[in-house]
Amino acid sequence: MPGPSIPLIDCGGMRPGADRGALGQALCAAAQDSGFMCLRNTGLDAALLQNAFTSSKRFFALADADKETLRYRDIQRNHGYVALGQEALDPLASADRKESFTMRDALRSASDVTAWPGSAFRNDALALFAAARALAEGLLDAIGLALGLQPGYFAQRHRGENQTLRFLHYPPQHGGDLAAGAGAHTDYGSLTLLWQDGNPGLEVRAADGAWVPVPADADAVVVNTGDLLERWSNGRFRSTLHRVRPLQPWRSRYSIAFFSDPDDAVLVSSLAGCVPVGQPPAYAPITARDHILHKLAASYG
């Protein structure tokens, strides 16, 4: 069960037309207290996830030379295979011991055959991408409602350009000094959805500085709020530090993340309703593109 700092929220199936008011309040409370939450009953089809994990495992099991043919080329495109030791989510620490396949704006590259390991992988990834996108939109809609924004406020600013699906693999480690799977970092954008394979390792930093394990429950989706939602909410929502440690290093750990971040040109500035009367905003406005590229450039050193 989640500890007190990582609330568990039942989404009631996210049925269309369902009352989003109570859900929005619960999401906002969790974003404010912890920045992390575990969601159940989101209505996301479990078969899509299972297929995506299967494709991910098949891909990471390929020979390095095959994976390298699809290698990540640049942070602008933010697509492709990143091998062990090439990314440091904490730029001041050593590189992460993980490999990943990143798919920014996946629907747009759907017809580019050179971008994908094969059609089964592509179909599984695109199906999950579309479902995760709809789920993130529903969650952002509920949050917007609780913040008193116009319906569709966030949807109009998250049209896919910076929505990114990412398959992750933390390979086993045998003996010696164990390396971190992912260094301490905050996520860059609005909302991250994360599915785990049941292998623990993800930890979040609580307000008192303690590292708190996130349950590795394969049936729940972990959701956290990122830097740009922190800025939009004038610091009301937290973009919480988190990391991945090798808690069970003898076996592989797989996870799948979906980052729902604002479109490049969106200027993120503190929402009027979040700024106390008579006080200046806590952050200067920034475009999503500037913030995301700055963070990507730091992590790819």
Contacts of 16 (CB under 8 A, 6+ apart): none
Nearest approach in angstroms of CB 44 to ligand AKG is 17
Q: Which residue has the tokens 């200027």?
A: 267
**Which of these ranges, 19-27, 185-193, 244-252, 264-272, lies near Fe ion under the rule CB under 5 A?**
185-193
Size of the site for ligand AKG (CB under 6 A): 10
Residue from the set 124, 137, 141, 187 that interacts with Fe ion by CB under 5 A: 187
Cα distance between the two ends of the chain: 37
Q: How far apart are CA 24 and CA 30, in angstroms?
A: 10
**Whole-angstrom distance, CA of residue 54 vs CA of residue 33:** 35
Contact call for residues 204 and 35 (beta carbons, < 8 A): yes
The least CB distance from residue 61 to ligand AKG, in Å, is 18
DSSP 106: T
Q: CB under 5 A: which stretch of 41-49, 72-80, 145-153, 181-189 binds Fe ion?
A: 181-189
Q: Is 128 in the site for ligand AKG (CB under 6 A)?
A: no
Report the partner that residue 244 touches, choosing among ligand AKG, Fe ion, none (CB closer than 5 to 8 A by kind).
ligand AKG
Does residue 96 touch Fe ion according to CB under 5 A? no
**Identity of the residue numbered 215:** P
Task: Starting at the earlier edge strand, list the strands of the sheet with 211-213.
Answer: 182-185, 242-244, 202-205, 211-213
Q: In the structure encoding, which two tokens stand for residue 182, read together? A: 């992912």
Antiparallel, parallel or unpaired: β 221-225 and 242-244: unpaired
Q: Applying CB under 5 A, does 261 fall inside the site for Fe ion?
A: no
Binding segment for Fe ion among 92-100, 132-140, 187-195, 211-219 (CB under 5 A)? 187-195
Backbone angles phi, psi at 138, to 5 degrees: -65, -40
Q: How far is the CB of 244 from ligand AKG (least distance, A)?
A: 5
Stretches 17-25, 103-111, 194-202, 278-286: which one binds ligand AKG (CB under 6 A)? 194-202
Question: Shortest approach of Fe ion to residue 37 CB, angstroms?
Answer: 14
For the record, the structure tokens of 121 come out as 């992988």
Angle ∠(242,248,254) on CA atoms, nearest 5: 65
Q: Decide: is 203 part of the binding site for Fe ion (CB under 5 A).
A: no
**In the complex, least distance from residue 85 CB atom to ligand AKG, rounded to whole angstroms:** 15
- Which residue among 82, 182, 206, 268 contacts ligand AKG (CB under 6 A)? 182
Identity of the residue, 128 or 146, whose beta carbon is nearer to ligand AKG in the bound complex: 128
Q: Who contacts 109 (Cβ-Cβ below 8 Å, separation ≥6)? A: 79, 103, 115, 116
Q: What part of residues 202-221 is at the interface with ligand AKG (CB under 6 A)?
A: 202
Quick check: 87 binds ligand AKG (CB under 6 A)? no
- Regarding 14 and contact with ligand AKG (CB under 6 A), the answer is no
Both structure tokens of 163 = 């929505």
* CA gap 93, 82 in Å, rounded: 18
Within positions 226 to 255, which residues make up the interface with ligand AKG, using CB under 6 A? 242, 244, 255
Residues that bind Fe ion (CB under 5 A): 187
